[in-house]
Structure 1
Amino acid sequence: MHPANTRARPLSMAQVLLCGAAVVTLSMGIRHGFGLWLQPITQDMGWTRQTFALAMAIQNLAWGLFGIFGGMVADRFGAFRVLIGGSLLYAAGLVGMALSPTPGLFALTTGVVIGAAQAGTTYAIIYGVLGRQISADKRSWAMGVAAAAGSFGQFLMVPLEGQLILSFGWQQALLVLAAMALLIIPLAFGLREPGFHGGTPAQRSQSMGEAVVEALRHKSFVLLTLGYFVCGFQVVFIGVHMPSYLKDHGLSPQVASFALALIGLFNVFGTYAAGSLGQRIPKRNILVFIYWARAVVITVFLVVPLSPLSVYVFSAVMGALWLSTVPPTNAVVAQIFGVQHLSMLSGFVFFSHQIGSFMGVWLGGYLYDRTGSYDIVWYLAVALGVAAGLINLPVRERAIVRPAAQAA
């Protein structure tokens, strides 16, 4: 097989965007609503919030860890098989989440299994296909479209999930989501890349080990990775704990559902704008703005009197900043290192994001159980936002120069 064969008949951009966006819509849409299950499950099962938060924290950590290996497989054998496996795991994990009788089994299914499923059905895998099938002059924009689709999934799915819980109960609602997760399988057929059929790995001019060592020695890659920790801390803490935070302050569950939906709706515009602007201005400037703006928005939210209106305004503005870090971060990785190992390297960066997610969701439950308040974690989210902006300031986006023998 000649190396050119992997690019001989690329998939159409419309097909890649349509199928990739639909996969991300389903996968991210389902997970964005998990915060709605915190109180129904803990109250029905007699568990603490920390029990639920720990399972969510494990889920985020498993997502990040398995994302590295899922990216390796996708880069070498194509995304198709990874997406199929991820869909099956997602359905199995949601069934386990509904039926687990003990905290340990709940942590295994909700945490490890669903986390592994998300690793095989979300951004790193889809962005690898986008990077290989779409030219560099449209890549950042395409990543913004895919991220916007994930946000639309939140806007679409969160109210639906809330209604499913009200109509059928939390267990049956999870079983419905399990069936929906299987819809990823037919979509995966639209992302079968030329050059990966029959399980034949694509030829590589650089081994996985060489790519990892090169990235970890690159200052800008390390800075991006550190900054992404903060993104995970902030968004997962808010996504999982804000419904309970609002209910603790006397607001109805419907306010929380609408708030999460607004985050998803406005992030459609935020992520699309971030991806489009990444074609025109330095992506590090976009990242610095996003992190500092989050710190300001959270501070204002904590200072003003809490009401449905303040929640909706916060959700709209925060939504525009929610996952808008994803397109510029992944586009910088592709710009520096190329697309040969993009899914794997994106997986490494995302692992840092998920360590932050673990800390955000777990600390939220832990400190609430200890202090009866989320205040400390909100303050941490502000401080970390300031720090992440500073961390991204020195990032340089120039393509790496490799020895001629390796680049040949």
Structure 2
Amino acid sequence: MGIRGSQGLYLKPMSVDLGWGREIFAFAMAMQNLLWGAFQPFAAAMTEKWGTGRVVAGGGVLYAVGLYIMSISQDPLTFNFSAGLLLGMAQSGCALGAILGAVGRALPESSRTFGLGIVTAAGAAGQFIVVPIGQAFLSYYGWSTSFVLLGLLSIIIVFAAIFLRGKPTEAKMAQPPEGGGREALGMSGMLSLASKDSSFWLLTAGFFVCGFHVAFITVHMPAYLDDKGLPVELGAYSLMLIGLFNIVGSFVAGYMGGKFSKKYLLSTLYSLRSVTIAAFILVPISTPSVLLFSVAMGLLWLSTVPLTSGLVATIYGTRYMGTLFGIVFFSHQIGSFLGVWLGGYFYDTTGSYDPIWWAGIALGFTAAILHWPIHEKTHAEAVNA
């Protein structure tokens, strides 16, 4: 997550160096997010069959290869292949989705959301640590060598995967909900159950908005600040602060999700995002306003993840949580695709990011409304295997 969070630092220097418009870089990042989401359900199914460690290790290897090919990219096709296809596939195997499923299966309902918050916070810590490293690499060595060094750094994922298990037959499963004792649904039955449930689609639609916000800001924030005449390092500081306060936000969301209604917490988070973005673009931009925005946005950044994944586990059980959350997450990545790509498209065609900022505000309030009708109870047919 830390390496992914640093990729926006490269948008402007790489585009200027290679004579590209911003849409080329943005489209590759958008494809990365979309393919990550498309492959996520399959990667989750693989973890449920073969164990989390093997899938995460494979994703780590693919991530390193993709970053190396990015370092030698001189044309849009090669860059889209490496940054879009390879990194998208890699992240489906080694990013949060794969880990959250394993953690969700291993923890009881009483502590599950908090555990998911801890995992999300750990990913946020990676952003806080790696973004300034990426900025230092970029400043001292240029974008090409920087990608090579980040690729070497990503090998840590492979070694960390040795300590992961997370296979359903090995994990400590939570107790089935009241009324259990029936034969557990298989994967096809659970998918059919979810597909007919309006709560599943409302949750999925809401998570689309999270992806739109997060991906747009991650990729375009450094260039946006540079365009406004602010110091180039401020983009890295902004992303770093978002990562730092995301740790706090994820912990708090995980804790509160175990105490209060997850759907109402999500509605509150999306509303606060819209208010925060509106305040940021309406006040005169300055270094203090950027830092304040980064702190506020960090608190709201991935606080949605433990609550959303926790809702999936609450409603449908944990046996196929990874696969079901993978489907919900695909919607998140469709939002990410549009946020990143449209950011580049509108900048190249209008010279401004304003349409995307305002779209993000409208979408945030829409997501807040969508979560209210969700039925936050274990489905009558869902049991933990």
Give TM-score scaled by structure 1 length: 0.89
Alignment partner of 1:251: what SS? coil
| Uncovered stretches (5+) of structure 1, i.e. residues with no partner | 1-27, 198-203
Deviation at 1:217, TM superposition (A): 1.0
* 2:208 maps to which of 217, 229, 233: 229
Please tell me the residue identity of whatever aligns with 2:354: D
* Equivalent residues in 2 for 1:289-308, closer than 5 Å: 289-308=268-287
| Uncovered stretches (5+) of structure 2, i.e. residues with no partner | 171-182
1:389 aligns with 2:368: yes
Please name the residue that 1:256 is paired with: 235
Deviation at 1:196, TM superposition (A): 5.8
Alignment partner of 1:100: what SS? coil
* 2:358 maps to which of 339, 358, 379: 379
Q: Report if the CA contact (8 A) 1:86-1:116 is conserved.
A: yes
Deviation at 1:301, TM superposition (A): 0.5
* 1:143 maps to which of 101, 116, 129: 116
Alignment partner of 1:169: what SS? helix
Please name the residue that 2:187 is paired with: 208
1:356 aligns with 2:335: yes
Please tell me the residue identity of whatever aligns with 2:381: R
Deviation at 1:190, TM superposition (A): 1.0
Please tell me the residue identity of whatever aligns with 1:216: S
Q: Report if the CA contact (8 A) 1:148-1:269 is conserved.
A: yes
Q: Report if the CA contact (8 A) 1:75-1:342 is conserved.
A: no
**In 1: Cα distance, 2:3 partner to 2:167 partner:** 30
1:240 aligns with 2:219: yes
Task: Render the CA deviation track for 1:110-148: whole Å, top value 9, x for unaligned.
Answer: 001101111111122111111222222111001001111
Deviation at 1:194, TM superposition (A): 6.3
**In 2: Cα distance, 1:102 partner to 1:170 partner:** 15
Q: 1:194 to 1:69 in 2, by over 3 A?
A: closer
Please tell me the residue identity of whatever aligns with 2:185: Q
Please tell me the residue identity of whatever aligns with 1:37: Y
Q: Report if the CA contact (8 A) 2:103-2:166 is conserved.
A: no
* 1:182 maps to which of 144, 155, 159: 155
Please name the residue that 1:23 is paired with: none
* Equivalent residues in 2 for 1:7-406, closer than 5 Å: 28-193=1-166, 205-402=184-381
- Pairwise CA RMSD of aligned residues? 1.5
Alignment partner of 1:101: what SS? coil
**In 1: Cα distance, 2:193 partner to 2:119 partner:** 27
Task: Render the CA deviation track for 1:187-214: whole Å, top value 9, x for unaligned.
Answer: 11111246768xxxxxx94332222111
Q: Report if the CA contact (8 A) 1:93-1:110 is conserved.
A: yes
Task: Render the CA deviation track for 1:272-329: whole Å, top value 9, x for unaligned.
Answer: 1000000100000110010000000001101111000000000100110001100000
Task: Render the CA deviation track for 1:230-252: whole Å, top value 9, x for unaligned.
Answer: 00001111111111111111011
Deviation at 1:221, TM superposition (A): 1.0
Q: Report if the CA contact (8 A) 1:301-1:314 is conserved.
A: yes
Please name the residue that 2:175 is paired with: none
Please tell me the residue identity of whatever aligns with 1:349: V
Task: Render the CA deviation track for 1:312-357: whole Å, top value 9, x for unaligned.
Answer: 0001001100011000000000011111111111110000000000
Q: Report if the CA contact (8 A) 2:318-2:384 is conserved.
A: no
Task: Render the CA deviation track for 1:28-57: whole Å, top value 9, x for unaligned.
Answer: 000001000101111111111000000000
User: Which range moved further: 211-220 or 104-113?
Assistant: 211-220
Please name the residue that 2:179 is paired with: none
| Matched positions, count | 373
Task: Render the CA deviation track for 1:65-85: whole Å, top value 9, x for unaligned.
Answer: 010110111112211221111
**In 2: Cα distance, 1:268 partner to 1:101 partner:** 36
**In 1: Cα distance, 2:10 partner to 2:384 partner:** 50
Q: Report if the CA contact (8 A) 1:267-1:319 is conserved.
A: yes
Q: 1:194 to 1:100 in 2, by over 3 A?
A: closer
Q: Report if the CA contact (8 A) 1:295-1:386 is conserved.
A: yes
Please name the residue that 1:201 is paired with: none
Q: Report if the CA contact (8 A) 2:319-2:384 is conserved.
A: no
Alignment partner of 1:206: what SS? coil
Q: Report if the CA contact (8 A) 2:128-2:239 is conserved.
A: yes
Please tell me the residue identity of whatever aligns with 2:277: I
Deviation at 1:399, TM superposition (A): 0.5
Give TM-score scaled by structure 2 length: 0.94
**In 2: Cα distance, 1:40 partner to 1:319 partner:** 25
Please tell me the residue identity of whatever aligns with 1:105: T
Deviation at 1:407, TM superposition (A): 7.8
